[in-house]
Structure 1
Amino acid sequence: MALQQISSFAAGQWVAPGAGARTIASAITGAPIASAGNDALDVLAMLDHARNTGGPALRKLGFHDRARMIKALGQALNARKAELYAASFDTGATQSDHLIDIDGGIGTMFVFASKGRREMPDGQIYLDGEVEQLSRNGTFLGQHVCTPLQGVAVHINAFNFPVWGMLEKLAPTLLAGVPSIVKPATNSCYVTELAVRIMLEAEILPAGALQLVSGGLGDMLDHLDCQDVVSFTGSADTALKLRSNPVILQNSVRFVAEQDSLNASILGPDAEPGTPEFDLFIKEVAREMTTKAGQKCTAIRRIIAPQPRVEAVIEALSARLSKTVIGDPRDEATRMGALVSGGQKADVLAKAAIIGQEAEQVFTMDPGLSGDLANGAFVPPMLFHCADPDRAQRVHDTEAFGPVSTVMGYRDVDHAVTLANRGGGSLVTSLITHDADVARDVVMGAGAFHGRIYINNRDSMKESTGHGSPLPHMVHGGPGRAGGGEEMGGVRGVKHYMQRTAVQGSPEMLARIGGKWVPGANEVAGPAHPFTRRYNELSIGETLNTAARTVTMDDIEHFAHFTGDTFYAHMDDAAAKRNPFFPGRVAHGYLLLSFAAGLFVEPNEGPVLANTGLDGLRFMKPVSAGDSIKVRLTVKKKTRRTEDYGEVRWHVTLTNQDDEMVAEYELLTMNAY
């Protein structure tokens, strides 16, 4: 059978394997299935294509344009995911594993597309935080902004998730406006290549936005500069070698690493056998040992249980693992497939032997494989017990990247935290408990050592996503041994591919730069009432100043009795005067908001479709009977939501007869386009 030729996509051209190509074997049978790699790739042309073609094209688009593009890419992949499933079986993954890798990766694209539309501006500059007043009268201000890096992101991915591993990096990179060169691990690059082909064939991306290296990078890293980013997932040894590249160090190239992680799971002291928490703990650990044959950067490597319950944990976990059906991942009855390669199998067995120097193996099984499967990279679950985890070292620093885990006992919660932290930094530690005080103690003691702490119990177990599932909404990464990097986390992940810059200037300068009106910036009167004008007709800074309205005691009395809000400050003059905030009876804050609406609302049917809320409401000065209020309504920000309408954010201030500010808030409306 002819080998599948896995190509690279470089500078707009597909390049077949050539000199230096490597043969890839099926994880299931060990038979050769593909060839990948070409030492003659023109890496300088690839970098130039990304920087000078892909980058400018992406930066011309706004965040919402890029978000729509990412959604379309996800839809293209989703329509052809059956092809990706079929290709992935030879990596040793089961159909359930495909759902994590392929469906999980596509889902990540959709989340970033959604967050880009909901949480980022409909423009090209991201405002990071609020405006800082740097002068007494507010004529000199500061604002942190983020703009796209003008280089390329080189994504070096691991073998275990050939689709999700690419997409969880690619989505925030494209949303930031930065082109990407993807380099998957060679052992599973045939799946990544198919995913890239699907995206490129959809003709959604601008030229130069996405390139692919199937095989080695050559000397690409030697040509990076301060505008480039390297995002790496893999072993700590490889990460150290890459980040030590003199060019990366000299040019301060951003380097994001997600590497070895001795993740732990702690069984709470309250979780006795027979409780929902104990059963949940066993289920979670067994799942993390067998999903992807334990080849997950978030898999549970250390099982930390109260010392009196260690024996029960070993017994229950062994019983559950013994039911694992190991075999051909294409068989629907199979629950655990193979490791990705024979080399990976040898590495896992060698690491398990090292762990065995300090721990006793208490469970394994004979999968009973024969025929072609006997030549595959299958390793059964291996459970160890470390009787003295305080004196042990290798169980805390050796990761067997497969279905291998070690049980150890703890004396109290502080001891459990100490053992979890002995891993030197992890991507995730989980805690199964129904005791909130225990949870707080673990977070306080272990938070500094772990990128994510997953807490689960009977209350959340039906909807929880699992110890080993990094979600695009939350950060993925960890300190120390885990690499010190951080990915995803919603918009946080996007900002890794942008430069934060402190911009200082007048209110008008900041308003024009950020596309958002700033108090003190220019205000203009529109040609008609703003509520009679459509979304696309309104301008940032357009302002309506209303007439004044006097607040009477009858207004206060009526509002109190009509609403039932008879708080003493509105009804009892003597009591109100004893309050340091009030001069006597005052108007209700919500009465003032109602009067404000009456002053600025246009009552007739028009382009304002709905009032969807208000943000940042503050009352600064009380209003007494006889005072008057007037309103200033300014278009602060506009965000297109659909083809038919957009959100308008209005800055609203209420002032009294002395022009003193009484209240301030932001009003949100949906306006027809």
Structure 2
Amino acid sequence: MAAGEAGEPGKRGLLIGGADRAAGTGRTEQDLNPYTGEVFATVAAAAPEDVTAAVDAAAAAFPGWAATDVGTRRKIFLRAADLLEQRTEDAVALMAGEVGGTRPWAMFNAGLAADVLREAAAAITAPRGEVLSSSSPGEWGFALRQPAGVVAALAPWNAPLILGVRSFAVALAVGNTAVLKPSEDAPLTAGLFLAEIMREAGLPDGVLNVLTNARDDAAQVVETLIADRRVRRVNFTGSTNVGRSVGIKAAENLKPALLELGGKNSILVLDDADLDYAVDAVTFGAFMNAGQICMSADRVLLPRALEQEFSRRFAAKVAELPCGDPGKPDTVIGPVIGERSAQRVAALVDDAVAQGAVLHTGGGRPDGAVYRPTVLSGVTPEQRIHSEEIFGPVTTVHGYDDVDSAIEVMNDTPYGLTAGVITEDTRRGWAIAQRVRTGIFHINDQSVGDEPQAPFGGVKDSGYGRFGGRDGIDAFTDTRWVTFREQHAQYPF
């Protein structure tokens, strides 16, 4: 199946050195449609020998790609961005069939992913280095940022175009090569489809290689990739539990890792907020992509005087959100990534309700992988949903007595990815932003926001390292100190 034939199941191989090839063992893995449960595609299941072959190809391509002039590289990335936008409808169909993405979410993915490529194109000609002072007359020193080598790019399923592109874009732009391992739930959208676009844009063979794999082999494939001495950077986006394992494995092999992990994100509504705006903002922040975004709002905090009225308006709006078939253009809440995920989310809600939480809308049993959008209040620390990342179409409403106690709740989590405050007084919002311990904070907005030029990332258990801007360039380059002399040096012996 060509990646553009998004709605038709078919067989896909690995992409190694520009060649479409079967796994060395001949094994395959089924890629399922989360809404129907049917096979969407069949992909090659890489084994350790395939990992080595992919790194071979990336390492062989590295010298030539690193030496490619910036004008050529920039044209490739700009062309790729245009191609991705032109194939938006292919991307919409792919995301609906492979990850249950609704049309608005898929179109947002395609647009932002194209902009990530354009921002990477800008990084190609960004200044990288500085002139250093020297204590010796006639000597010059330079701090140069140079590509590190082969990058292990590990991409998730939930925002497959955005995070698939982000896993490799800046890394390739600054002269590295990469081996991309997309999630088992999005091998096409987060991997092979993007690689096809990059190749059509003119990316040389071997610069970007793609490994798909069986679920049971994921840990072995990743460990083999990270352990290869030629891999010099590790880039992972996904859950905190898996990210911790990836970080440990990278550290054991003395390789820098960029980890963008989970979140337990809050939106704080102040007493001066426009309540209708707050309802709209929280609905978006909590339920876009069925809550399957690392930035999704798990908690909404309101003054107790507003809690009841907000909950009434909020629950009424959420109850009317169309949910179900992601292929229908008006669907807002599609399926979660699979029936097991839906059951996990339902178990969190059931546990909370059994321990006294109030169900305002939603709840009940999943319909396959579809779980109705749900709003809870009365959540206490004894309930699992209080501290666990939900990653589904559920959010919780909390009343507070004063802003200080609300900020304590926002910070009372191992995570630290993003947060927002809804207020008509930006000075109050700015003061709160200084006190909330997250990598991202939005004033008079909800928790979900992403721009390719921004330093995106979290603190605490939400990971370390940053995408975007100067940080993104630094993450995928090494600093070298280079000197030269205008005249011979004098030595003591």
Query: Which of the numbers 318, 322, 327 marks the counterpart of 1:325?
Result: 322
Pairing of 1:29-68 with structure 2 (within 5 A): 29-40=36-47, 42-53=50-61, 55-68=62-75
Q: Does 1:230 align with 2:234?
A: yes
**In the alignment, residue 29 of structure 2 is paired with which amino acid?**
R
Query: Which of the numbers 432, 444, 449 marks the counterpart of 1:442?
Result: 432
Q: Distance between the aligned counterparts of 1:67 and 1:201, measured in 2?
A: 14
Give the secondary-structure state (helix, strand or coil) at the position aligned to 2:159: coil
Q: Specify the alignment match of 2:211 in structure 1.
A: 213
Q: Specify the alignment match of 2:3 in structure 1.
A: none
Q: Specify the alignment match of 2:184 in structure 1.
A: 186
**In the alignment, residue 52 of structure 2 is paired with which amino acid?**
L
Note the C-alpha offset of 1:106.
Answer: 1.3
Conservation of the 8 A alpha-carbon contact between 1:290 and 1:336: yes
**In the alignment, residue 255 of structure 2 is paired with which amino acid?**
V
Query: Which of the numbers 473, 476, 480 marks the counterpart of 1:494?
Result: 473
Distance 1:428 1:220, change over 3 A: same
Q: Specify the alignment match of 1:381 in structure 2.
A: 373
TM-score norm. by structure 1 comes to 0.65
Give the secondary-structure state (helix, strand or coil) at the position aligned to 1:293: helix
Q: Specify the alignment match of 1:416 in structure 2.
A: 406
Q: Does 1:484 align with 2:464?
A: yes
Q: Specify the alignment match of 1:313 in structure 2.
A: 310
Q: Distance between the aligned counterparts of 2:70 and 2:86, measured in 1?
A: 24
**In the alignment, residue 429 of structure 2 is paired with which amino acid?**
A
Q: Specify the alignment match of 1:23 in structure 2.
A: 30
Q: Distance between the aligned counterparts of 2:356 and 2:486, measured in 1?
A: 65
Task: Flag structure 1 segments of 5+ consecutive residues without an equivalent.
Answer: 458-465, 510-673
Q: Distance between the aligned counterparts of 1:71 and 1:395, measured in 2?
A: 43
Q: Does 1:8 align with 2:10?
A: no
Query: Which of the numbers 98, 108, 111 marks the counterpart of 1:103?
Result: 111
Structure with higher Rg: it is 1
Conservation of the 8 A alpha-carbon contact between 1:289 and 1:381: no
Conservation of the 8 A alpha-carbon contact between 2:52 and 2:225: no
Q: Specify the alignment match of 1:204 in structure 2.
A: 202
Note the C-alpha offset of 1:438.
Answer: 1.8
Distance 1:3 1:334, change over 3 A: closer
Q: Distance between the aligned counterparts of 1:199 and 1:236, measured in 2?
A: 30
Q: How many residues align?
A: 473
Distance 1:507 1:411, change over 3 A: farther
Give the secondary-structure state (helix, strand or coil) at the position aligned to 2:187: helix
Pairing of 1:390-469 with structure 2 (within 5 A): 394-446=384-436, 449-456=437-444, 467-469=447-449
**Percent of residue pairs bearing the same amino acid type:** 21
Note the C-alpha offset of 1:381.
Answer: 0.9
Note the C-alpha offset of 1:265.
Answer: 0.8
Pairing of 1:241-640 with structure 2 (within 5 A): 241-245=245-249, 248-271=250-273, 275=274, 278-356=275-353, 360-365=357-362, 374=367, 376-386=368-378, 394-446=384-436, 449-456=437-444, 467-487=447-467, 489-504=468-483
Distance 1:140 1:316, change over 3 A: farther
Conservation of the 8 A alpha-carbon contact between 2:291 and 2:394: yes
Q: Distance between the aligned counterparts of 1:184 and 1:200, measured in 2?
A: 15
Give the secondary-structure state (helix, strand or coil) at the position aligned to 2:335: coil
Q: Distance between the aligned counterparts of 2:459 and 2:386, measured in 1?
A: 15
Q: Distance between the aligned counterparts of 2:60 and 2:270, measured in 1?
A: 55
Q: Distance between the aligned counterparts of 1:62 and 1:357, measured in 2?
A: 63
Q: Distance between the aligned counterparts of 1:366 and 1:424, measured in 2?
A: 27
Distance 1:95 1:486, change over 3 A: same
Give the secondary-structure state (helix, strand or coil) at the position aligned to 2:473: helix
Distance 1:144 1:200, change over 3 A: closer
Higher relative contact order (CA 8 A, sep 6+): 2
Q: Distance between the aligned counterparts of 2:74 and 2:386, measured in 1?
A: 41
Task: Flag structure 2 segments of 5+ consecutive residues without an equivalent.
Answer: 1-6, 489-493
Give the secondary-structure state (helix, strand or coil) at the position aligned to 1:72: helix
Q: Distance between the aligned counterparts of 1:48 and 1:190, measured in 2?
A: 22
Distance 1:398 1:227, change over 3 A: same
Note the C-alpha offset of 1:395.
Answer: 4.2
Q: Could you list the per-position Cα deviations for residues 299-320 of structure 1 after superposition, in whole angstroms to 9, with x for gaps in the alignment? A: 1111111222211221121011
Q: Specify the alignment match of 2:4 in structure 1.
A: none
Distance 1:39 1:210, change over 3 A: closer
Higher mean C-alpha displacement, 73-82 vs 291-300: 73-82
Note the C-alpha offset of 1:87.
Answer: 1.8
Q: Distance between the aligned counterparts of 2:46 and 2:102, measured in 1?
A: 33
**In the alignment, residue 148 of structure 2 is paired with which amino acid?**
L
Q: Distance between the aligned counterparts of 1:30 and 1:500, measured in 2?
A: 48
**In the alignment, residue 442 of structure 2 is paired with which amino acid?**
Y
Give the secondary-structure state (helix, strand or coil) at the position aligned to 1:476: coil
Q: Distance between the aligned counterparts of 1:481 and 1:266, measured in 2?
A: 21
Conservation of the 8 A alpha-carbon contact between 2:348 and 2:385: no
**In the alignment, residue 352 of structure 1 is paired with which amino acid?**
V
Note the C-alpha offset of 1:505.
Answer: 5.4
Q: Distance between the aligned counterparts of 1:402 and 1:283, measured in 2?
A: 18
Pairing of 1:630-669 with structure 2 (within 5 A): none
Conservation of the 8 A alpha-carbon contact between 2:152 and 2:231: no
Distance 1:385 1:502, change over 3 A: farther
